[in-house]
């Protein structure tokens, strides 16, 4: 009897995992199509660089950094452009897993090539939310970021 319940539970978990890793969203678009459809502007950023905390909310009054000009554009050919601090930087990108909810992009920031990793939490036509990590010259960044289309 326990073996039947185990098989039933295993089957249900397998179905749920298959459904949650489906590559198409409810809009019928793939994560790649959703990601490349827009230039994504910064809406909220909360994180730490080393031991320094950073906080930004678009239109907020208690920001520790100004990210009003921060945006990012992913292109279908696995290249893109990052806009920040009054400059633009070209980069390359790829999804890191078959579920297409993790990606890495490689950019040259101030003569230092940096690999940025995103663990995407939400990706739809109106919102992109992710956990971002990278290491630059021995200093680690960890942030939770929300973007919306420009």
| Pairing of β 71-74 and β 87-95 | unpaired
Domain boundaries, the chain: 29-149
Q: What is the pLDDT of residue 136?
A: 82
Q: What is the pLDDT of residue 27?
A: 76
Whether the CB-CB separation of 43 and 37 falls below 8 Å is answered with: no
Q: What is the pLDDT of residue 16?
A: 37
Q: What is the pLDDT of residue 25?
A: 60
CATH architecture of the domain 29-149 equals Beta Barrel (2.40)
Mind listing the pLDDT tens digit of every residue in the chain (150 residues)? 444 333 334 333 333 333 444 445 677 999 999 999 999 999 999 999 999 999 999 999 999 999 999 999 999 999 999 999 889 999 999 999 999 999 999 998 777 899 999 999 999 999 999 999 999 888 999 999 999 999
Structure tokens at 72: 């990012």
Which parts of the chain are beta strand (E)?
Answer: 39-49, 52-57, 71-74, 79-84, 87-95, 102-109, 112-123, 128-136, 139-149
């Amino acid at each position: 009897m326990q073996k039947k319940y185990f098989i039933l539970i295993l089957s249900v978990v397998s179905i749920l995992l298959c459904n949650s890793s489906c590559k198409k969203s409810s809009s019928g678009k793939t994560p790649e199509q959703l990601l490349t459809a827009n230039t994504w502007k910064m809406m909220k950023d909360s994180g730490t660089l080393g031991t320094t905390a950073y906080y930004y909310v678009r239109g907020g009054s208690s920001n520790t950094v100004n990210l009003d000009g921060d945006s990012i554009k992913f292109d279908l050919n696995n290249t893109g452009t990052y806009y920040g601090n009054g400059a633009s930087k070209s980069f390359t990108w790829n999804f890191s897993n078959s579920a297409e909810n993790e990606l890495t992009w490689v950019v040259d920031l101030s003569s230092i090539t940096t690999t940025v990793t995103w663990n995407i939490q939400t990706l739809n036509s109106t919102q992109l939310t992710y956990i971002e990590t990278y290491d630059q010259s021995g200093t680690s960044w960890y942030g939770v970021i929300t973007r919306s289309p420009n």
